[in-house]
Amino acid sequence: MAEPILEVSGLYKHYPLATGVLFKKQVGAVKAVDGVDFALHQGETLGIVGESGCGKSTVAKLLMNLERATAGEIFYKGQDITKLSGRALKAVRRNIQMVFQDPYTSLNPRMTVGDIIGEPFEIHPEAAPKGDRRRKVQELLDVVGLNPEYINRYPHQFSGGQRQRIGIARGLALRPEVIVADEPVSALDVSVQAQVINLMARLQSEFDLSCVFIAHDLSVVRHISDRVGVMYLGRIVEIGTDTEIYDHPTHPYTQALLSAVPVPDPEAREHRERIILAGDVPSPTNIPSGCRFRTRCWKARERCAREVPALAVPAEFRLDGGPAAHASACHFAEDAQTVPAEEHESGAA
C-alpha cells in the first residue's frame, strides 16, 4: 500500500476559555478537535460527516494550516506540516487548497471573477508567468463549466451554483494535489447541489485529486466518497468504505444518523426504524468521560463511562490495514442489536 498523501495523527485543537479581569484566568477549553486520526490516500475522496459543532471546520482549518494544532501531527507525503513556517509552509500550501462553504460570502464582491480565480497566482507567482494568467483563468472557467467570456463579471452576476463553480476554479488554479472542501454545497439549493457534487467528482478524477469532502449529512457525501468518517464531539467515531458505513454501520451514532437519511423506496422506508437520539450533543467544554457518545446511546453500559473506546479495526480486517479498514469507536460495535429494543427513544440514564 502506498504511503498516504495526508496522514493525521492524534490531532487536537483546544480553544482556551478565559474569564476574569482582562481574561487572565483560563477556566477550561473548547475541545473542538479532540484526538482525530485518519489517512487520505492518493486519488481518494474521504467524506467527513457530523452534526454542527462537532469540529469539522476546525479539522479543515488545521489541514490548511490556518490554525495551529494544540497537539498532533499532519503528515503531507511523510512530512509533518504542523511545525512548518515561512517558505516551506508556503510550498506545501500550494498543493493543498480549500473550497469554502458559502459562495456568497467567500468571494470578494468588488473583485472580478478573473481576479478572484487568478488571486492564487498573486500569492504564488512562480505558478504562472504574468502573461499566461488570463488564459489560465479562462481555461479554469471552462473546466468548471462557465463561459470564459464571463471573466470580467462580478460575483453578484452569478447564481449560487455558478459562484461555487468560481470557488472551485480558484481552488484548482495552482493545480493542487489535495482539495479540502468544507461543506461546499450546504449553502446551495437542493436542485443545484447534485450538479456541483457531480462537477467535483468529475474534476477529482480528471485532475487526480485527493479530496477531503466535509458535509453535515451522510446522504450528501455518499456518491462522492470512497470512504467516510463520522465525527462526534471532536472525534472520528467510525470510519470505513462507503459500503461499510452505509450498509453495515457498527457505531450507534452512525446508525442513528443513517436512520434519519431519507429513503426514496417506500417499501424500504416502511421497514426502516428511525432512531431518535435522546438529549442534545454535550458541550465541547465538558465532554463525557469514557465514550463521549454514551449519554445519548441506547447501548451504553457501565464500562462506557469508564473506558474510552479506541477507534478499533475489527479482527477480520486487521491484517489488511489498508484504506478499506473499517473501524468503530464503540465497546459494543460487534453487538448485533442495532436499534433500541423497547422504543426508539434512546439515552443512558
Ligand X SMILES: Nc1ncnc2c1ncn2[C@@H]1O[C@H](COP(=O)(O)OP(=O)(O)OP(=O)(O)O)[C@@H](O)[C@H]1O
Q: What angle do CA 20, 11, 45 make, to 5 degrees?
A: 130
Phi, psi of 53 (to 5 degrees): 90, 0
225 binds, among Mg ion, ligand X, none (CB under 5 to 8 A by kind): none
Among 4, 8, 58, 174, binds ligand X (CB under 6 A): 58
Asked if 32 is part of the footprint of ligand X (rule: CB under 6 A), the reply reads yes
Q: How far is the CB of 271 from ligand X (least distance, A)?
A: 30
Among 45, 57, 250, 295, binds ligand X (CB under 6 A): 57
| 70 C-beta neighbours (distance < 10 Å), count | 17
Residue 57 vs 162, nearer CB to ligand X: 57
Q: How far is the CB of 50 from ligand X (least distance, A)?
A: 6
Residue 146 vs 200, nearer CB to Mg ion: 200
Which range touches ligand X (CB under 6 A), out of 56-64, 69-77, 121-129, 321-329? 56-64
Cell of 316: 477480520
154 binds, among ligand X, Mg ion, none (CB under 5 to 8 A by kind): none
Rounded Cα distance, 274 and 254, in Å: 12
Among 77, 134, 216, 344, binds ligand X (CB under 6 A): 216
Residue 158 vs 232, nearer CB to Mg ion: 232
CA distance to 16, 50, 231, 328, per residue, from 29 (Å): 4, 21, 19, 26
Asked if 35 is part of the footprint of ligand X (rule: CB under 6 A), the reply reads no
Cell of 61: 482549518
C-beta of residue 151 within 8 angstroms of C-beta of residue 134: yes
Q: Which of residues 243-302 bind ligand X (CB under 6 A)?
A: 284
DSSP string, 48-73: EE--TTSSHHHHHHHHTTSS--SEEE
Asked if 53 is part of the footprint of ligand X (rule: CB under 6 A), the reply reads yes
Beta partners for 48? 214, 229
Q: Give the binding site for ligand X (CB under 6 A).
A: 15, 30, 32, 50, 52-58, 216, 284
